[in-house]
Amino acid sequence: MSKERVGLYPGTFDPITNGHMDIILRGTRIVDTLIVGVAVNAGKGPLFPIEDRMAMVREEVDSATDAETAKRVVVRTFDGLLIDYAKRNGVTAIVRGLRAVSDFEYEFQMASMNRKLDPSIEIAFLMASDKYHFISSRFVKEIGALGGDISHFVSEGVAKRLLARYAQGEKVLAGAASKAY
C-alpha cells in the first residue's frame, strides 16, 4: 500500500485570488489531500484577520469544487517555519505557484533551503495559467482601494468582502492612494 500524498500550499491569501484557486484546483490533481496553509504572517500586515482569510479560502474551495474534491482540501492556519509545519502534518510535497520569471529566483532559493532542512519533502512548482499569471493579492488590494474593477481577479464573494473593508475606511497599503492603474 502506498503512502498518502499530502500536499501543502502555503500563503497569506490576503485575499485569495482566482490565481490561488487555480493552483489549489490543480494541486488537488497531484496529491490525495491538499492542506491550504493560511499563514498568520503578521509581519506582512494583512488587511484581513486570519479567521476571515481562512473563511474566504474555505468558501472559495467549497464553491469552486465538487463535494468530493472539497473534502480533500483542508484549510488550516500556520505560523513559524514552513518545513516544521509540513513535518508535523505528514506533508510529502509543498506546492508552490510560479507566476513569472521574477518569482522563480525567490522560490528556487526557498525550495533549496527547505530541501536542505528536510530532503524527504518534495517541492512541486505549478506554473500559473496564462489567464492568471499577472494576478497578485497586493495588486488586487491596491486596485480595489482605488475603486478599480477587481472582478477579473477575485470571485464575487471576495470582491464584496474587499469593498466592505474599504467602506470601513481600512488602509490597504501605505501609499496605495498614490498609485495609478
Residues annotated catalytic, as ranges: 20, 44, 99, 137
- Residue matched to cell numbers 482540501: 73
- CA distance readout (Å), 161 to 14, 64, 104, 157: 11, 18, 31, 6
- CA distance readout (Å), 23 to 6, 28, 36, 39, 166: 15, 9, 10, 17, 27
Do 77 and 88 meet the contact criterion of CB atoms below 8 Å apart?
A: no
Q: Which residues contact 115 (CB under 8 A, 6 or more apart)?
A: 121, 123
What cell does 133 get?
Answer: 499569471
